[in-house]
């Protein structure tokens, strides 16, 4: 199980240090939630912040764009140092074009779906994505509770992926007491915000999540 700490739960006053700390603590990816106050009811940060913290870690930057529209900003996030760029199926009228553009920029292309979105929207996209992100909370805020009904969706998406080289990532309310169920449903990457940053002992928290998944 890959662990992708979400810096939305980090101390923004020392963001570069926080990124370096979770890198050293064993994070596989650095998950970066970009919110626009329009597609989701919150604002976070943009490409300039990602560029500023890029030197703090050599781990892949997993950039989750909760913005509408996303397409005009893909070049900016690629230039800032994103390695994986994920756009929402609900926010992009021309999703294939955006995914192809991300790959054309030399980055891995991801697509995300909200809890209320049926996974059938993913079927036409399976040959154009490197990562699928299933939200297990409604996006916009950290610290929300996991929506249990999404476990069956995760399993259905895992079946849709089949033998394709697509990573299945899950984001929202992941804790040591539910990560095993998420892993059993087929996830290979989990995003963890408060579960990593909330206790202050990042290495211990990441190790606990990984052990609980196994």
pLDDT per residue as tens digits for the range 164-180: 999 999 999 999 999 99
Domains of the chain: 2-213 (3.20.20.70)
Q: What is the mean pLDDT of the chain?
A: 96
Q: Is 28 part of the annotated catalytic residue set?
A: no
Scan for tokens 């020392």, then name that residue: 14
62, 92, 130, 171: which is the annotated catalytic residue?
171
23, 28, 33, 130: which is the annotated catalytic residue?
33
Long-range own/partner contacts, residues 48-55 (CB < 8 A, 24 or more apart): 48/80, 49/15, 50/77, 50/80, 50/81, 50/82, 51/79, 51/80, 51/81, 52/15, 52/16, 53/7, 53/15, 53/16, 53/19, 54/80, 54/81, 55/16
Residue 101 in contact with residue 78, Cβ under 8 Å? no
Q: How confident is the model at residue 139 (pLDDT cuts 50, 70, 90)?
A: confident
Q: Is 33 part of the annotated catalytic residue set?
A: yes
Please tell me which residue, 142 or 194, carries the higher pLDDT value.
194
């Amino acid at each position: 199980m890959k662990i992708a700490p979400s810096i939305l739960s980090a101390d923004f006053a020392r963001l570069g240090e926080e990124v370096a700390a979770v890198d050293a603590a064993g994070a596989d990816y650095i998950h970066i939630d970009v919110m626009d106050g329009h597609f989701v009811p919150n604002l976070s940060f943009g490409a300039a912040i990602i560029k500023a913290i890029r030197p703090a870690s050599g781990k892949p930057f997993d950039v989750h764009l909760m913005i509408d529209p996303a397409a005009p900003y893909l070049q900016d996030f690629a230039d800032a140092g994103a390695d994986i760029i994920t756009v929402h199926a609900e926010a992009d009228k021309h999703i294939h074009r955006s995914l192809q553009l991300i790959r054309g920029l030399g980055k891995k292309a991801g697509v995300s779906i909200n809890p209320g979105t049926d996974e059938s929207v993913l079927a036409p996209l399976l040959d154009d994505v490197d990562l699928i992100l299933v939200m297990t909370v409604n996006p916009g805020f950290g610290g929300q509770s996991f929506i249990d009904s999404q476990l069956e969706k995760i399993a259905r998406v895992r079946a849709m992926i089949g033998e394709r080289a697509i990573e299945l990532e899950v984001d929202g309310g992941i804790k040591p007491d539910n990560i095993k169920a998420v892993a059993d449903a087929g996830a290979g990457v989990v995003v963890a915000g408060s579960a990593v940053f909330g206790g202050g002992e990042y290495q211990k928290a990441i190790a606990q999540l990984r052990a609980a998944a196994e």
